[in-house]
């Protein structure tokens, strides 16, 4: 068995910094998504909007995912589909691209044309028993090449996958990475990252030979966990970076596990209160000049998102700094989403909670009692403890508004 050199999450982030734009970026530049490897050559894509797509996942892989996938696809399928979820809709929808093009938005917003945060999945290229997949979401293009295609490298045409940000190569034998045709195939695509996806643990990847074959100049990035952060802020690069991932998620130490669990419980408890509120109740403006319930949702979510994205961005610039905080003073405040109901505001809070855990591997090697990179907080532990308190404080303030004059009944 080939044992790759292990690297920490923080170091991997620094190595990948070479292929992203310098300086702080913001949410409008592209929300980050995660690519995750799982046993058997399965890969999942998790988006900031909360969509999860699983590719070539066996039944036992489902149990290992952070939550059940919204959609499973196989490279043996004939695909030209869209996975999306409009605001205020409880479940994600999986429809054909043709049907998506025909959609007419409804007045209540529960049906809308898929936007940039929709996952678009299309089978491309010649197929034997399986085809390559072209997947786009949040301004990122991902190309997935199955083992079947790698076994028939002579038939691979890069034009169908051109301009992919990430090229995922599934291999069942290390010799597949030494095929001379791969050099031209990858050159035609011009990916920024080539992610190697061995379908079994005993596949020997001769990484240096592969790197030389495709003309990559940067060192191969080898990681000891299964997650890679990607966003549209990836900069153009003349040569791709080769990346390997484990199939095991990063594990927190006991103290960080306890603090994260407490923060997530505080967020979850808050969601239970806000999810019951109607649009009118969320937009209620108290006569005493205090904030609306919706402001409290946006503020709690926005603080956690900003503080942790600052840390993550400092370590891995592929994750932008995301500042969705509302204006602090009531007269200056404008609703970010005045038509979202309580369930959607709760989902937004959960999305930030998921984001924080999804990229927590970047905290690897950081000391809880020291200041984290990019953070304004004196210590990482102080930030986590404040987030635990913060949800409870603002939720309690909101509950008091239920007794104020003019509170809507529904």
Mean pLDDT of 373-391: 98
* Domains, the chain: 33-245 (3.60.15.10), 254-400 (1.20.120)
Which residue, 80, 263, 241, is CA-closest to 166?
Answer: 241
> What pTM was computed for the model?
0.91
Q: Residue 388 — φ and ψ, nearest 5°?
A: -60, -45
For residues 216 and 190, the answer to whether their CB atoms sit within 8 Å is no
pLDDT band for position 63 (cuts 50, 70, 90): confident
| Distance between CA atoms of residues 284 and 288, nearest Å | 12
Would you list the DSSP string of 247-280?
A: SS-----HHHHHHHHHHHHHHHHHHHHHTT--HH
Q: What is the pLDDT of residue 260?
A: 99
Q: Name the residue with higher pLDDT: 108 or 22.
A: 108
For residues 264 and 353, the answer to whether their CB atoms sit within 8 Å is yes
For residue 22, give Cα distances in angstroms to 51, 234, 306, 312, 336.
Answer: 28, 10, 18, 14, 28
What is the tally of helices (H) and strands (E) in the chain? 11, 14
Give per-residue pLDDT as tens, 106-155.
Answer: 776 556 788 889 999 999 976 667 899 999 999 999 999 998 888 776 66
Radius of gyration of the CA atoms of the chain, in A? 22
pLDDT band for position 234 (cuts 50, 70, 90): low
**Structure tokens, 6:** 């292990």
Mean pLDDT of 48-55: 98
**Structure tokens, 98:** 């043709």
Give per-residue pLDDT as tens, 282-331.
Answer: 999 999 999 999 999 999 999 999 999 999 999 999 999 999 999 999 99
**Structure tokens, 78:** 């004939």
| Distance between CA atoms of residues 269 and 261, nearest Å | 12
Q: What is the pLDDT of residue 99?
A: 94
Beta carbons within 8 Å of 394's beta carbon, 6+ residues apart: 270, 296, 299, 300
Mean pLDDT of 198-214: 94
Would you list the DSSP string of 273-312?
A: HHTT--HHHHT---TTS---HHHHHHHHHHHHHHHHHHHH
């Amino acid at each position: 068995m080939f044992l790759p050199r292990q690297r920490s999450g923080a170091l991997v982030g620094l190595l990948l910094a070479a292929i992203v734009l310098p300086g702080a970026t913001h949410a409008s530049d592209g929300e980050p998504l995660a690519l995750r490897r799982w046993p058997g050559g399965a890969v999942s894509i998790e988006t900031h909007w909360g969509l999860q797509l699983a590719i070539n996942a066996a039944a036992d892989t489902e149990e290992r995912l952070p939550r059940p996938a919204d959609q499973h696809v196989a490279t043996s399928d004939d695909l030209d589909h869209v996975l999306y979820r409009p605001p205020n809709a409880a479940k994600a929808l999986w429809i054909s691209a043709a049907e998506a093009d025909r959609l007419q938005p409804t007045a209540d917003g529960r049906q809308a044309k898929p936007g940039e945060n929709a996952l678009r999945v299309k089978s491309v290229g010649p197929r034997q028993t399986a085809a390559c997949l072209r997947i786009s979401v949040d301004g990122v293009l991902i190309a997935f090449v199955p083992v079947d295609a790698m076994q028939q490298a002579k038939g691979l045409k890069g034009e169908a996958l051109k301009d992919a940000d990430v090229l995922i190569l599934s291999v069942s034998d290390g010799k597949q990475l030494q095929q001379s045709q791969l050099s031209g195939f990858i050159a035609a695509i011009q990916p920024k990252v080539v992610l190697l996806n061995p379908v079994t643990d005993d596949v020997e990847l001769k990484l240096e030979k592969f790197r030389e074959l495709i003309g990559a100049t940067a060192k191969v990035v080898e990681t000891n966990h299964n997650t890679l952060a990607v966003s549209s802020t990836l900069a153009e690069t003349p040569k791709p970076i080769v990346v390997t991932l484990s199939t095991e998620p990063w594990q927190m130490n006991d103290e960080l596990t306890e603090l994260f669990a407490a923060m997530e419980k505080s967020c979850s408890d808050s969601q239970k209160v806000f999810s019951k509120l109607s649009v009118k109740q969320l937009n209620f403006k108290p006569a005493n000049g205090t904030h609306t319930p919706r402001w409290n949702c946006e503020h709690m979510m926005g603080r956690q998102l900003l503080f942790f994205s600052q840390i993550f961005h400092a370590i891995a610039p592929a994750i932008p700094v995301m500042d969705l905080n509302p204006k602090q003073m009531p007269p200056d405040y404008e609703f970010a989403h005045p038509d979202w109901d309580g369930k959607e505001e709760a989902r937004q809070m959960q999305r930030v909670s998921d984001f924080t855990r999804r990229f927590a591997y970047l905290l690897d090697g950081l000391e809880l009692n020291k200041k984290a990179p990019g953070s304004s907080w004196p210590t990482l532990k102080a930030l986590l403890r404040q987030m635990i308190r913060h949800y409870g404080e603002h939720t309690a303030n909101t509950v008091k508004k239920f007794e104020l004059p003019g509170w809507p009944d529904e």
